[in-house]
Homo-oligomer: A and B are copies of this chain.
């Protein structure tokens, strides 16, 4: 299916929107990028185009302090601390989760979806996505993964929508046990774990087919 790709700003939020041309009441997929990435990262753009070609509207935004948005001195310090091993991914996600959830709520307010809403987020997109989904009743299904942390267990237990969770079996950044524990903590009656060999950046291309099948099953 043909689709259009359009970039614009919603207040301070840079947005890219992919719109299928011939879909009636298409579902909307929100895509949350990883740490240090942006709405224009190939991992976002290539998947967004696959989803749009299959009849989904897709929106990606730059998280605060990412992409086209200004970086605050506080965030620069936090980043430096993470790189030095003096702060954790949890610290970074904690700083971003509230603002990111507010951004997505603003996007959903401004562009009411014609169909059901899904969320896709890996790594930081999962770390900030778990609290977003737990608190946002408009999200009806989510693909999450490449992250896990004991600090997310209680929040994950509030999620009841269908979730496809992707884990890399040899992830050098996320302990395997933390990924499995996050999947385990989800209260969703319909949840699937897909795990594949390889490191944090080695998510196989065919898992995009899996995500598409999952979103089609639950949102179409």
Interface, chain A (partner B; CB < 8 A): 169, 180, 183-184, 189-197, 204, 206, 209-210, 213, 217
Contacts and interface: CB of A to CB of B under 8 A. Distances in A.
B206 A217 contact: yes
| Copies of this chain held together in the complex | 2
A195 B193 contact: yes
B197 A191 contact: yes
Nearest to A196: B192
Contact of A189 (B183, B189, B194, B197): B197
B169 A184 contact: yes
What's the dominant secondary structure at chain A's contact region?
A: mixed
A193 B191 contact: no
B213 A206 contact: yes
A192 B191 contact: no
Given A189-B197, A190-B197, 19 more contacts: A169-B184, A169-B193, A180-B180, A183-B195, A191-B196, A191-B197, A192-B194, A192-B195, A192-B204, A193-B193, A193-B194, A193-B195, A194-B194, A206-B213, A206-B217, A209-B213, A210-B210, A210-B213, A213-B213
A184 B213 CA distance: 26
Which residue among A192, A194, A206 has the maximum number of chain B CB atoms within 10 Å of its CB?
A192
Contacts of A206: 213, 217
Contacts of A184: 169
Contacts of A204: 192
A196 B193 CA distance: 6
Contacts of A213: 206, 209-210, 213
Contacts of A191: 196-197
A37 B149 CA distance: 41
A183 B193 CA distance: 13
A210 B207 CA distance: 11
A184 B180 CA distance: 13
Nearest to A191: B197
